[in-house]
Structure 1
Amino acid sequence: MVINENLKNYIKTFSKLLRNKKFYLYYNTSSSVILRNGELKLYKKVLQEKLKKRFNNLEVKIKQRGIKMNLVVFIKNVKKYEAEFLTLNTRRVKVILLCILKGNFDFVKIVQEAINFALNCIFKPFKPVQIYFKRILGDVLKDNILNKTNFEGISLDYAHPKISSCKIKATLPQPILNAATVKIFKQIQKSKEEKIESFFNSVTEHLTQTYGIDLHQFCITALTYSNHFIQLNSKNTFEMKAVSDNVPYTVISSVWELLTRKESM
């Protein structure tokens, strides 16, 4: 991937922001079988050996509570891009990026891809220091961590620091990462089109003027596949779903109430 000046500046900012932190890859799984102490020890040992053989630049640690095991993988010799990925309060900007590119777990490349995604999607209004990465290599791999070699995708959980009720969740396949603008209304039923476009415009205007959030752009960028639909459910949650051949994803945003609730700020 070509690194442009903006990307270099973002990476430079991250290296300053996240200095002196410890970066880790975190994998969480639950065993369906209750293992005796001896079996658990053997399982841990085999798992560590397999992981170290495949990822020779990683240090593997396993924490276990009952039958639930937390596998923590540490990248060795990472200095410039060290970071600790913590669970952030929903009232702060938070981003969960799970980015596995064809079995390549190079941290610098993952960060570059993640930042490139951010630059091309919804984070243009924000300063670099307002973007946080929580974790890379997570539950998305599930039990295929040892043999999944060509997984592609990014999953994010995003919230603005001043809007606790605004959350956007999406699992995005690689082909849409660089999609700048896509018109989504053409494939929506005509009876819904006017209502949804009106909703988009209202939300976009409100969030952009008040908080600088370009939600409309995000939605347009995300929905690049056919067979999608948009609806408002009974809980005032705005939900969009799209299914391509083998790539389902959901975008959920609880922003509808922002149009009616009183500002408490």
Structure 2
Amino acid sequence: MSAPAARSVRDKFLAEGGRRPPLWKLALRYLLLLAVLALTVGPFVWQLSTSLKGPTEDLFSSTPKLLPAHPTLDNYAKVADLIPVWDFALNSLKVALANVLTNCVGAALAGYALARLKFRGRKLGTVAFIVAMLVPVESIIIAQFLTMRDLQLNNTLTAVVLPGCIGALNVLLMRNAFANIPYEIEEAAFVDGANAWQRFTRIALPAVKGTVAVVAIFSFMGAWDDFLWPLIVLSDQSKFTLTIGLDYLHGTFASNQRLVAAGTIIAVAPLIALFACLQRYFFRGVGEGAVKG
């Protein structure tokens, strides 16, 4: 919202009898926001500070120091020397990008079919996706492993991607986004001779770009942060993802918290970059499906 528009909304609110909240309420509100900010962002800031501290600085002093006295990037270089962190990161990137592609395409197609196409069993299909979302991953992980073994896909990145290539939650998100699009728009396209595929690609899909961005972020985060399934299905170190590779820092070099913190920052940085690039579409996805005048 632009500044003039914000001022007009404020003036209209005050003209209709609205009053500013008391000062103590504003102070309490901001104190709560600062407390939530400290709880959510504080651990990351502390890890970042630890990763930049040199070997001469005391990490466990009675008076913790947030700012490093002599900032250094040597800890990041040591992580790369101890483990092939960039190879692990490349494997994670391959898995995450494949997961994003399959989820965006598959969830969009399935969501559109459930929301806009009329066929027998459509409601049952929606219920099936809801039930699949409620099933704990741990209860089916053995069946997944046996399936990959029968397909001779164990110890491959393909086996890491397949179980999460289309998430039930992503399908439901896309279904709700497509369901919010007014039917009159598609009816007009149908009258003009557009088939189902043309209505999907030219009308429905451009209207839900925000939800597609949400699905992309969730898919990337889920694949990038996944630890249990890659740990089970992978045995060759050259194919390890970043989460498994960084576990070596916790096990072998747990006494050196600087290296552990540096590895954590390396793992989190791509997620922050992705969200920074897609945040505009991410927040727009909340009100997806509205008609613009």
Q: TM-score, normalised by structure 2?
A: 0.22
Between structures 1 and 2, the one with greater strand share: 1
Between structures 1 and 2, the one with greater helix share: 2
- Higher Cα Rg: structure 1 or 2? 2
Q: Which has the higher contact order (CA 8 A, sep 6+)?
A: 2
